[in-house]
Chains A and B, each alone.
Chain A
Amino acid sequence: MNWMTIAWPMVAAACLTLGMIELNIGLWQRPRAPRLLFALSAFTVACVAGLELALMRTDVLAEWWTLMRLLDIAVGVMLVSLMAFIWTYFGNGRKWLVLAVPALYALGLAFDYLPGAPAGSGMTYKAVTAFRTAETFGGATFHVAEGVPNPWNVLPYLAVLAQIAFVTDASVRWRHKGGGWRPVLVGGAVVFFFLCGGLQAALVETGLLNTPYMISWAYLAILIAMSIELNADVLAGARLASQLQESERRMDLASAAADLGLWTWDVGSDTFWATSRARAMFGFSESEHIDRARFLGALHPDDREATNQAIEDALATRSGYDVEYRVPLPDSKIRWIAARGQVERGARGTSTLMRGVVLDVSTRRQTELELQRLHSELAHASRVSMMGQLALALAHELSQPLGAILRNTEAAELFLEHDPPDLDELRAILVDIRHDDQRAGAVIDRLRAGLKRRTIALRPLSLSEELASVAALARGDAMARKVALEIDAAPDLPLVMGDPVQLQQVLLNLALNAMDAVEQMPAAKRKVMLRAQRHGEGEVEVAVKDSGPGIAPERLGRLFEPFFTTKANGMGIGLAISRTIIEAHGGRIWPENNADEGATFRFTLPQAGVARSS
């Protein structure tokens, strides 16, 4: 026939397509009402398009009348469903306007179905007088009915006006509630096309416009506007989904880079979800079902109990989960795994989830164990080395009484050969031998005490005495190295709580270090001073001062680190052990550079009999 036979079916098809799309979404996504109402509107607009096409092709009154009355019903359903859709979707609007639309339209529609009315008499015309053939763009021809207008035909137009009022009102309210420009655009488009549709119908019915009804075109436009609005949400959802995917990919990348395994445990269904990395750490295959028993079974038997307890604790307190455990590997190696997680309520109320990460910490763990082993070895070595220093000093001391005893006995043998033997001299020799023997015994006792005692035994002791005995031990060394070793203990120094053997080790270590420090100085400038004095409340301070080159500032903070040494053949453990000992005594030890020359190591010890508040 002409382009019209193509255009109207296309409008109908477009409406059906939109309706099907929204129906499909509406069936699956909440809230359902707006989309289902939209689908209904779209389907009725398709019907309207079909009826419009049929009307323009008929010039038989009975047929026209039937079609016209169906069209009026379809338009009514379309208006009401569109109205309901906008009402549910915008979520506001005046109820009386909502009710006014179907009420006004129903009144107008009543004229179509008055009992006993002749054919052609209805809402639009009182009577149809004739059909004429009109011609429009492109030479297309169609039929138009001509008749006596029904004044009550104003009712459907009032319904459309009520609808326009409703949409305008609802859009304004939506905008005031913070809807931004969306309600203005959507509402404006809807109102515009309502006006177009109503105006076109009015112009056709009054004979001013020589076209067929194009109500369906206007409503298709409305549907398109609403559809864009509706699907903005869907598009946003799709964008969110792709962002989520992107963020998941980033998460995967980050966890892969950090070598983290991710896991989630649904407590209710006892099911673990885990990334491939996490599964690989435990030796689980990709498809294996993991539950709590399977997980615990993969752990080292000694770690199962503790790990299970950590899970129970986390669930009971809804707090964090932070454990380390071992996983035996097939090649009889051990993998150390650190696991962190937290408990969260699942989305569906009662189901609880635990979510977390696992990290292979075997390397770190091995390093730690290795360090621990080294440390204990070195602690032992250093103890031996400090005892070695002590023993050397004691051996020096021991040689004096031993040498004296030897010479005395040899002298006694010679005296016995005299005639008569000098008995007084022999008696004096015996007294000296006994005395020297006791002296040697005391030295050995000190050495034995130093080697034997492993735990710290505090007792009140006099620092002046300890300084004197350490000075005696170090004197031989000091003399050999031409170091002037001085002691300065303040009179009436209070007693301190200490372990004499360990304190002697510290003092000897500091004194020997100080002597090392002054070694490079000219002999006249090699001075080491051991000083003890009161320090603040309830403490005594010991200072070991040297006249050496001082300590480089960047080294000051590191001196007490184990294995830190400034000496070519030092082990770097003497000061570390000294600090351990002083801190075990409740004191502090620190180095400082002197204002004039050299450096001073100071440590404090708590005074005996003074209550300490810590």
Chain B
Amino acid sequence: MAISGVGNLCIGVVDDDESLRRSVARLLRAAGMQPMTYGSAEEFRADAGQPRFDCLVLDVQLPGMSGVDLRNELAAEGDETPVLFVTAHDDPSVRAEAMAGPCIGYLRKTDAGSELLNAIRRVVSLPARGQ
């Protein structure tokens, strides 16, 4: 699997499950990307020194502000960073809520990591679309 050309990709990961967060970060790193991890949406918002992310991987269910809320806030601020949702709780209503705003994908936590990587690669290899 070619990994050249993605070394400069900066990915933000927000997930409250520490082990899962670590595994995603590891996968991204192994794929040559630069992950930065946060345990909650609030923590993400509070990080003043964060770079400009190429993609965000957000858990839907988070303590406090949810992943969808965070996406909505960012969209409201005009931030057009592509967002990829990951959920442990695949519920039609949750999915509908996530897909109601700008997002590039919706994955379950049990889906293969390669799908996550492919989704990221797809979005960064293409020029940013309107949404």
Task: Please report A residues at the B interface, Cβ cutoff 8 Å.
Answer: 396-397, 399-408, 410-412, 414-415, 417-418, 425, 429, 432, 435-436, 439, 475-477, 479-480, 482
Listed residue (B20, B61, B93) with the most chain A CB atoms within 10 angstroms of its CB: B20
Q: Assess the A400–B89 pair: CB atoms within 8 A.
A: no
Chain B window 103-124, contacts with chain A (Cβ cutoff 8 Å), 1 for yes, 0 for no: 0000011111110100000000
**B109-A435 in contact (CB<8A):** no
The number of chain B residues with a CB under 8 A from chain A is: 32
Of B20, B66, B114, which contacts A410 at CB under 8 A?
B114
Compute how far the CA of A396 lies from the CA of B27 in the bound complex, rounded to whole angstroms. 22
Known: A402-B109, A402-B110, A479-B61. A414 touches B27 (CB 8 A): yes
Closest to B69 in A: A482
- Check A407–B61 contact: CB distance below 8 A: no
Known: A399-B108, A432-B22. A410 touches B27 (CB 8 A): yes
Which chain B residues have a beta carbon within 8 Å of chain A's beta carbons? 1, 3, 17, 19-20, 22-24, 26-27, 29-31, 60-63, 66, 86, 88-89, 91, 93-94, 108-114, 116
Q: How far is the CB of A528 from chain B (nearest CB, A)?
A: 14
B23 and A404 contact, CB distance less than 8 A: yes
Q: Is the Cβ of B19 less than 8 Å from the Cβ of A432?
A: yes
Find A399's partner among B29, B109, B113 (CB 8 Å cutoff).
B109
A403-B88, A480-B91 known; A435 vs B19 contact (CB < 8 Å): yes
Whether the pair B61, A404 counts as a contact (CB closer than 8 A) is no
9 sampled A-B residue pairs with Cβ under 8 A: A401-B20, A408-B26, A410-B113, A414-B27, A432-B19, A476-B61, A476-B88, A479-B61, A479-B63
B41 vs chain A, min Cβ distance (A): 11
Complex contacts, A402 vs chain B, CB 8 Å: 109-110
- Known interface pairs A404-B22, A432-B19; A415-B30 also in contact (CB < 8 Å): yes
Query: If A406-B112, A407-B27, A439-B19 touch, does A414 touch B89 (CB 8 Å cutoff)?
Result: no
- Separation of A411 and B19 alpha carbons in the complex (Å): 13
Residues A414 and B24 in contact, CB atoms below 8 Å apart: no
| A480 near B93: Cβ-Cβ < 8 Å | yes
Known pairs A400-B88, A415-B30, A480-B89; A408 contacts B23 (CB<8 A): yes
Measured between beta carbons, the chain B residues less than 8 angstroms from A404 are 17, 19-20, 22-23, 109
Cβ of B88 and Cβ of A411 under 8 Å apart? no
Cβ contact within 8 Å between B19 and A401:
yes
Q: Given A396-B89, A400-B88, A432-B23, are A411 and B110 neighbors across the interface (CB < 8 Å)?
A: no
Residues of B within 8 A of A410 (CB): 27, 30, 112-114
Return the chain A residue nearest B117 by Cβ. A410
By a CB distance below 8 angstroms, the chain A residues around B94 are 480
**Contact partners of B62 in chain A: CB under 8 A:** 479
Residues of A within 8 A of B1 (CB): 414, 417
Question: What chain A residues lie within 8 Å of B30 (beta carbons)?
Answer: 410-412, 414-415, 418
Query: Are B89 and A407 neighbours in the complex by a CB distance under 8 Å?
Result: no
In this complex, what residue of A is CB-closest to B94? A480
- Select one of B20, B66, B88 contacting A407, CB under 8 A: B20
Chain A minimum-CB-distance residue to B27: A411
A444 shortest CB reach to chain B, Å: 15
Give bound CA distance, A396 to B86, whole Å.
Answer: 13
| Minimal Cβ-Cβ distance residue in B for A422 | B30
